[in-house]
A and B are shown apart, each in its own frame.
Chain A
Amino acid sequence: MPQEILLSVKDLRTDFYSSKTSFVTAIQDVSFDIYRGEILGLVGESGCGKSVTSLSIMQLLKDTPGKIANGSAVLDGVNLIGASDAVIRDIRGGKMSMIFQEPMSALNPAMRIDKQMIETICLHQDLSKEQALAHAAEMLKKVGIPDPSRILKNYPHQLSGGMSQRVMIAMALSNDPKLLIADEPTTALDVTIQAQILDLMKKLQKEANSSILLITHDLGVVAEMCTRVIVMYAGKIVEMAPVEKLFANPSHPYTQGLIASVPKLGSGVKVLPSIPGSVPDLASMPSGCRFAPRCKYATDQCRTQEPQLVEIAKDQKCRCWLTQGE
């Protein structure tokens, strides 16, 4: 069955300026599609560009030193990059919304929950204030908040971490978005609360047949939630594959190292295989393959020539000379 593409990102590149003329490139050559009704995982370590990718798609780099230098991101026929503020405002929070890592800092601390939710709803739907309030209460109920009318009257500081993340999710979903970008939605939460929230996100995604771009560093979360996975390293996509394939048969040495270095519950190992060295500095990227200095398979070709992201099997792409020969 051919899948319908919801969002198509092509050749995205974002630079961060430290002065008028000097900049570092945070992400480069980022191209991927998100299909309707899928959960796409985006994994990588800190500084690999996963959050910059999501902020670039959401057009949230306006007041930062970040600037999109190249590329397009087409959602339902509209190119988000370079679109006017009015168009973006209409899409953001409506067709496409976002959940952040820190629910506490993403909510406005000086505004009651009801006001914040009504604001979002009224911006995108033609409802009266009373109707919007009823809708807000309904959304809170959906995300498993037992007493919506009480929570609505609270300020964010009166809520626990798990509770405020639920409020964030309710708010993000209140306008039936087609695409939800979740940037480390459960990283700040405890495991038992994380299990609740992930369970909830999956259920709501299925109900609405919407798509989620799930950004995380936790491979356990990826395995549990996603249909396909993108692995990023030092600002570039290094591998893209369906989740079963990625875990059973990772092709890029970085993906292999990443999967091997995660302790698995019940595996009984005492010493983990680890990737030597650390992530390169954005300002001084190695020439050739960016992973070459840490890669045990690196050859002279890897150190001088940069590999491209090419299809190595059906649905699987990899940026590595080893998988593509000469």
Chain B
Amino acid sequence: MEKNVILSLKNVSKTFPVGKSLFGKPKKFVHAVNNVSFDVYEGETFSIVGESGCGKSTTGRLINHLLIPDSGEVWFQGKEISKISQNEMRPIRKNMQMIFQDPAGSLNPRMRVSELIEEPLLIHTNMNASEREKVVNKLLKIVGLSDKHASRYPHEFSGGQKQRIGIARALTVNPQLVIADEPISALDVSIQAQVLNLLHKLQEEYKLTYVFISHDLSVVEMISDRIAVMYLGFVVETAPKEMLYQSPKHPYTEALLSAVPIPDPTLHKERIILEGDIPSTINLPKGCPFAARCSKSKPECLEKRPDTHEVEPGHFVACHLY
């Protein structure tokens, strides 16, 4: 079956200036996202994983036009959107919504739930008040709340419920693509499972495409179809879920997977303990970004950035070992 590409990033890079010299010119740059390319297919969950500072959230924002890339292209539904104006972007946003990490911080505390959820309808549709109310009540039910919640304010809800409101808000305009940036990491374990199950249910019902950004590899394994692993702003490995978890190729992916604590005391696995810290993104290493911490690094790794190779169908790795 031919799969339709809904979103495509081509060699996208983004830097942020830090510090200023005497005449106001930025002295240094943080290289947040470097040469990132991937395709996302319709109806799948594509996850971006990595540790803090690896550029996964920046990538999410670049997709959503909240940030403009320095170079490279972002294609969404057959249209290059990285260089268009905010006005041109607005109708496109209807098809591309976002769920944020901190449900408390992303909901306006002075707006009632009904106002919060209907806001996208005001912007993107011409519905009248009663039509909007209908949509709001329907959405509240879908995300597991009830219409009696509509007149309340965000502070009256628990974290899990707030995240449900955030999800309802993202779904009001029937988007095709939902970018979820760490949607469950601020929640408690028992609530995480509830919200994950809700996201899964919604995907099946509405044929949503998710770009799921997370640092939690166990969660990512559950929800994803394909995964990109990021390190220091580079995508080091992209693969379908089974391939990535069963035969990780990049040494960083291996170490990352091995570092996840498993809730099973009878299991005593041999861990790969990485040495040292993540290098600074201001002065990127000349060679492979992971070379300094890699146990398999060769002299070549310190000198030359590895290209991305397809090691098996659909499995891409940027490493000199392959």
Q: Which residues of A are in contact with B by a Cβ distance under 8 Å?
A: 45-46, 160-163, 190-196, 198-199, 217-224, 226, 243-244, 247-248, 257-259, 261-266, 269-276, 278-279
Contact = CB atoms under 8 A, between A and B. Distances in A.
Contacts of B274: 192, 195-196
A233 to B, nearest CB: 10
B189 A278 contact: no
A247 B217 CA distance: 21
Contact of B197 (A199, A222, A262, A274): A274
B190 A275 contact: yes
B263 A220 contact: yes
B197 A272 contact: yes
Interface string B164-200: 0000000000000000000000001111111011001
A192 B221 contact: no
B190 A220 contact: no
Contacts of B188: 45-46, 217, 279
B302 to A, nearest CB: 19
A257 B190 CA distance: 8
B245 interface: yes
B222 interface: yes
Given A199-B273, A223-B262, A247-B264, A191 B245 contact: no
A194 B221 contact: no
Of the candidates A161, A163, A265, A269, the one having the most CB atoms from chain B within 10 angstroms of its own CB is A265
A233 B255 CA distance: 34
Contacts of B258: 195
Interface string B190-234: 111110110010000000000000010111011000000000000
Classify the secondary structure of B's interface with A.
helix
Contacts, number: 127
Interface of B: 51-52, 158, 160-161, 188-194, 196-197, 200, 215, 217-219, 221-222, 245, 255-267, 271, 273-274, 277-278
B196 A258 contact: no
B221 A266 contact: yes
Contact of B259 (A191, A273, A276): A191
A193 B262 contact: no
A191 B263 contact: no
Nearest to A222: B263
Given A272-B222, A274-B197, A258 B190 contact: yes
B109 to A, nearest CB: 19
Of the candidates A162, A262, A263, the one having the most CB atoms from chain B within 10 angstroms of its own CB is A263
A292 to B, nearest CB: 15
A244 B266 CA distance: 7
Contact of A264 (B192, B196, B264, B266): B264
Contacts of B255: 192
A161 B53 CA distance: 12
A195 B266 contact: no
Which 4 A-B residue pairings sit nearest by Cβ, starting from the closest? A220-B261, A274-B193, A190-B51, A261-B193
Contacts of A269: 222
A265 B264 CA distance: 11
Contacts of A273: 193
Given A191-B51, A224-B265, A265-B262, 7 more contacts: A191-B217, A192-B256, A196-B273, A220-B260, A262-B263, A265-B218, A272-B196
Given A243-B265, A278-B160, A191 B273 contact: no
Of the candidates A45, A194, A272, the one having the most CB atoms from chain B within 10 angstroms of its own CB is A272
Nearest to A225: B261
Given A194-B259, A244-B265, A259-B263, A163 B277 contact: yes
Given A190-B51, A217-B189, A274-B190, A265 B260 contact: yes
A274 B222 CA distance: 14
Nearest to A220: B261
30 contacts: A45-B188, A46-B188, A160-B278, A162-B277, A163-B277, A190-B51, A191-B217, A192-B255, A192-B259, A199-B273, A220-B218, A220-B263, A223-B263, A224-B262, A247-B264, A247-B265, A248-B266, A259-B263, A261-B190, A261-B192, A261-B193, A264-B263, A265-B245, A265-B257, A265-B262, A266-B245, A271-B197, A274-B194, A274-B197, A279-B158
